[in-house]
Structure formats: structure tokens, C-alpha cells
Amino acid sequence: MMKRTCIEISELLSEGMDRSLRWHERLAIRLHLIICKSCYRFSHQVQFLRKAARRYK
């Protein structure tokens, strides 16, 4: 099943910060991000959160 909801994609994007995703998970994300602006933005923002957290003193 390739079709995933935003909540599932956001879970995968979060998990992707903590482990390497499997190829089918990466593919599901890529397909979803093409059509979903919100998840696309979310994918960049979780990385920003990491960047900020690492700089936080």
C-alpha cells in the first residue's frame, strides 16, 4: 500500500531523523511530498528543529 496519510508521513519523517528508512518508506515519502505542500514543509522543519536544538545552549 503506497498511499499514506499526512499523519503517517509525518511519523516517517520524524523516524527518518532517528534511523535509516527502508527504500519503500523513502519512496512513500517522496511520492507524498510531490502532492502535499504541508508535509513538504514539515520535512524541512524537522531538520531545522535538529539544527536549532544542536545550537541551543
Q: Do 14 and 27 form a contact (C-beta atoms < 8 A)?
A: no
Position among 1, 20, 23, 37 found at the interface with other proteins (CB under 8 A): 37
Q: Which residue has the cell 527518518?
A: 16
- Does 46 contact other proteins by CB under 8 A? yes
- Does 52 contact other proteins by CB under 8 A? yes
- As a whole number of angstroms, the distance between CA 22 and CA 13 comes to 12
Nearest distance, CB of residue 30 and other proteins, angstroms: 18
Q: Which is nearer to other proteins, 30 or 54 (CB)?
A: 54
